[in-house]
Structure 1
Amino acid sequence: MFNPFLAKKVSYSDIKTFGEPYCIMLMGLFILMVCVSLICYSCNYYMKLHAREIGMLKMAGFNQGKVILYQLVQMIMIMVVSVIITCCLSLVTTPIFLTVVYRYCHIHQSVFYFNTRLFSMIGILVVCILIVLIGMQVNYINNNSLSSLIKDKYITTQKEDHRVFIIPDYIYILGYFLGLYAMYVGEELDAGFAIASCIGAISAYGLFYYFIPHTLNEMVDSLNLKGEDTIVLGDLALFMQQSKLLIVFIMLAVILIPTFIFSSLHMKMLHIALHIGAILINFVLCLSVVSRFDIDALEKKEHFKNLCKMGLTNKEVKKISYKEGNGFYFVLWIFAGIYILSIACTFLIRASIDLGLVGIVLLEFIVPYGMAEFIVYLKKRGQNYELHGN
């Protein structure tokens, strides 16, 4: 095969032509990873919601294979309906997105373009996702006894630290600020800048999985807190550990997307695609956070009932639930906000980008996460009626 890039000296225009579509492909891959994580969260929520049903099937004499097949048929039906809805929506959304891209790039082509190879790729993707879901089902059934499935009660505790080599918590703080430092001392304002600042995203994993839960637990042990605050900090520490993967995705989105948007002004196609990708990625991440709170509400259903049995009123339990959600978003706004504002300031000072562009990028993050926080608030308010349930 003849490769034009190997037959001549590579120029900047060649790199631009080669890099632009591949950057768009990488962005699509990142969206796909986030979507798969959302599907896994939904599958986990679905299995916990039907735990009693699984237990009854095992009591009726169904072996593990039949139980998995029973659930798999249900999930296949859900996936088929989801794919049909997605394809129908794409008939509307694809022309809209192409209209925005073509007008921005001054391209005169038909917006009604659909790649038939896409449907075969969707079929392969669905099969791969089903394999992952089967693995999750097997793991869930093997790790839960029959009695725990029948009781339909969830005991959630913080995971013990079984690391052979324990990294001090302050290392994660240093890594977080090292990523900020790399922004201001680095000479490049493109991919190298993003890779250097991704140190902060990696450190965010340790912050939310180790540093913050450990700090909250130390506050509970050392400070003379009220009983309500003790419960809130304990619940928040547990939720932080359970949401570590989402935090990494969010931090990667906060670091990579603004960086590539600000550094791709000379590539119109990539620039507008990144804006559209930012909206889609943040939308999916926000759905993932909302799903994580749904799972948390299911896992802590018995926990809230026990608080009511101990004498707490419905209003007091509701207040505890609200404080947990507000505490998570407060920490998220701080750690993610520092990075995105630092990236914006760096490009404003060193690259003299337009202030309006910075405002648009900030809105692409603030609006979806603000809406997600409001949705979580509404869901928590609606769950209060179940606190005194049987």
Structure 2
Amino acid sequence: MSKPVVPTQTLRRAADLAAAGLIAPGHVEAVERVAALYSVAVTPSLVALMNRADPNDPIARQFVPSAAELMTAPEERRDPIGDETHSPVRGIVHRYPDRVLLTPLLVCPVYCRFCFRRARVGDADGTLSEAELDAALAYVAARPDLREVIVTGGDPLMLPPGRIKALVDRVGAIPHVEVLRFHSRVPVADPERVTDELAKALRREAGSDLALWLAVHVNHPRELSAATRAALARLADAGLPLLSQTVLLKGVNDSPEILEDLMRALVRNRVRPYYLHHPDLAPGTSHFRPSIAEGQALMRALRGRLSGIAQPTYVLDIPGGAGKVPIGPGYWNEEAGSVSDPVGRSHDYRGAASRPVPDQ
């Protein structure tokens, strides 16, 4: 049997998804209703990774819209982590005392079906004008307590390399900013976009005190295709430290085996696992959310399987904008004076835990 044809253009309409074999013809009407609410885009690179014969394919599940998105649970909200509440000027989200988010645009190469900004992304008019970018950077420059700028969106690597380089230079000219971090899905969704020119635009200039980092969003080991691995290598070889962000998704990566394979693959590709996010309360995403207890059990299993360098921190972004907190399993029992190991066995630690440290 011949392989299905991979499209050459990004798929954005329900009819195109059906023609590519990604949705059944009978689902077109429902997907059109989803597309009227939330942006749709599936790149050829991602279609090539999908097993179109598998109705539960973990890659397709992340990007191909479904009728389940039309069901909004009572606890879900349009702005689940309080971006709007904490946006003092357009393009800035200031939730923590030492860092801000900068969103220069709201378009992405692909639209994840679980995205916490799903009500906003895809808006081409969300790109900041020069005057708005000036105002956003002036906000940062006027606040010496800010040490880090996190460029997100949308996907900032959708900007041309020249605009990325200009942004790096402008942030680097703010004396109190020490770290500039970019968050992107591009190396997975459109790896050919990660050219040598783009990697160079993200490179730290000689003599600069500004540290540049890139966090890449990866949820399944199959997303690390040969093209994606090459893109990550270009970025790492340019001197850019790489982190990963992963969302824990039911039916995609909610097993210790898949998460283990993913974290090992990331480390092999010089990407340090950073966060494993519990899914946010975005509208129409309840079919993706496992329970927190299930997530904690997965993290406990990883602790017994992987070295520290491959362990992400399991986090929850508190609804309304109160910030991220770790929600991983606990190992220390204060009342019993015991500690549990990765497989759940309890070990007494009462004497050592309470004994004072002698003066040096």
So what's the TM-score if we normalise by structure 1?
0.24
- Compare the two structures and name the one with the higher helix fraction: 1
Which structure shows the higher strand fraction? 2
Which has the higher Rg, Structure 1 or Structure 2? 1
Q: TM-score, normalised by structure 2?
A: 0.25
